[in-house]
């Protein structure tokens, strides 16, 4: 019996966190139909950070919006942790946003009236987590992103890199299984961008979280385990920088 080890126990088989099947999103502009996303079928794995690259207008944001449940597909389905989300009620979707998905945006999008600590704590508050646990998790994440000493600063008092680190902490705080980042380094200089990215990558790997990063920066993309290429709404290929 001992020789029949489950492959997953060895860490050989990767766990699928997100799967799309023939995912399409069309927009109508007058009589014209714009295929912002066209029949994309892809699997994203936990602990395998994935970049999405492609020219502007190729459907990267559309893809993230769809899998982040901010938008509804024209056709096709999305499975998160094996569950088809296209059939979910809005209540279930809210639940998924609270517990399963984390977002990171290009312009950090912190709530500017709240301090760094409060921004990180906010998803937990929204989800109704108990006070003690909130404090513990917030403190842990702030120290993870190296901002323990800036906890009580408002976003305006932080640099772009620092703000994005707060945003990372906020995305990680409710232990999601998938993090979606749309050009997270787009507003940062390349050195800061790489530093921020490293924090994000390390924590996702460490916690076995699925990560999708949309980027134009090939240096950033090369830090990932896997790169997907989109063009005109279609998946046209992928590569693995590491191997």
Binding site for ligand ADP (CB under 6 A): 27, 29, 34, 36, 54, 56-62
If one asks whether residue 162 binds another protein (CB under 8 A), the answer comes out as no
As a whole number of angstroms, the distance between CA 149 and CA 217 comes to 30
In sign, the C-alpha dihedral spanning 214, 218, 223, 224 is: positive
As a whole number of angstroms, the distance between CA 146 and CA 187 comes to 20
* Residue 21: contacted member of another protein, Mg ion, ligand ADP, none (CB under 5 to 8 Å, by partner type): none
If one asks whether residue 61 binds Mg ion (CB under 5 A), the answer comes out as yes
Residue (of 69, 65, 63, 12) closest to 41 by Cα position:
63
As a whole number of angstroms, the distance between CA 140 and CA 115 comes to 16
If one asks whether residue 63 binds another protein (CB under 8 A), the answer comes out as no
If one asks whether residue 112 binds another protein (CB under 8 A), the answer comes out as yes
* Residue 229: contacted member of another protein, ligand ADP, Mg ion, none (CB under 5 to 8 Å, by partner type): none
In eight-state DSSP terms, residue 86 is G
Indicate the residue among 141 and 214 with the shorter CB distance to ligand ADP: 214
* Residue 29: contacted member of Mg ion, another protein, ligand ADP, none (CB under 5 to 8 Å, by partner type): ligand ADP
Indicate the residue among 47 and 57 with the shorter CB distance to ligand ADP: 57
We find the least distance from the C-beta atom of residue 224 to ligand ADP, in angstroms, to be 17
N residues, the chain = 243
Helix, strand and coil content of the chain, in percent to the nearest 5, comes to 40, 25, 35
Q: Please enumerate in sequence order all residues whose Cβ is within 8 A of that of 200, keeping only pairs 6 or more positions apart, or say none.
A: 104, 168, 179, 181, 184, 211, 213
What token pair was written down for 231? 């063009």
Binding test (CB under 8 A) with another protein, winner from 9, 32, 90, 243:
90
Residues that bind another protein (CB under 8 A): 65, 68, 70-71, 90-91, 94, 97-99, 102-103, 105, 107, 109-114, 118, 122-123, 125-128, 154, 156, 170, 174
Residues that bind Mg ion (CB under 5 A): 61
């Amino acid at each position: 019996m001992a020789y029949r080890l489950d492959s997953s126990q060895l860490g050989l088989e990767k766990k699928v966190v997100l799967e799309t099947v023939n995912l399409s999103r069309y927009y109508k502009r007058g009589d014209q139909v714009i295929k912002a996303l066209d029949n994309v079928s892809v699997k994203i794995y936990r602990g395998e950070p994935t970049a999405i690259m492609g020219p502007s207008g190729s459907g990267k944001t559309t893809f993230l919006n769809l899998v982040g449940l901010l938008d509804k597909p024209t056709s096709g389905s999305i499975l998160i942790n094996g569950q088809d989300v296209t059939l979910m009620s809005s209540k279930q979707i809210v639940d998924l946003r609270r517990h399963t998905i984390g977002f990171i945006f290009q312009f950090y999008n912190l709530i500017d009236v709240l301090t760094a600590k409060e921004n990180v704590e906010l998803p937990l508050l929204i989800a109704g987590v108990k006070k003690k646990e909130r404090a513990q998790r917030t403190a842990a994440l702030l120290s993870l992103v190296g901002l323990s000493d800036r906890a009580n600063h408002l976003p305006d008092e932080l640099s772009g890199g620092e703000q994005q680190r707060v945003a990372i902490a906020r995305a990680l705080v409710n232990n999601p299984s998938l993090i979606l980042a749309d050009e997270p380094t787009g507003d940062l200089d390349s050195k800061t961008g790489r530093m921020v990215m490293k924090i994000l990558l390390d924590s996702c790997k460490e916690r076995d979280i699925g990560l999708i990063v949309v980027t134009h920066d090939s240096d950033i993309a090369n830090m990932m385990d896997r790169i997907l290429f989109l063009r005109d709404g279609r998946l046209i290929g992928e590569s693995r920088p590491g191997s």
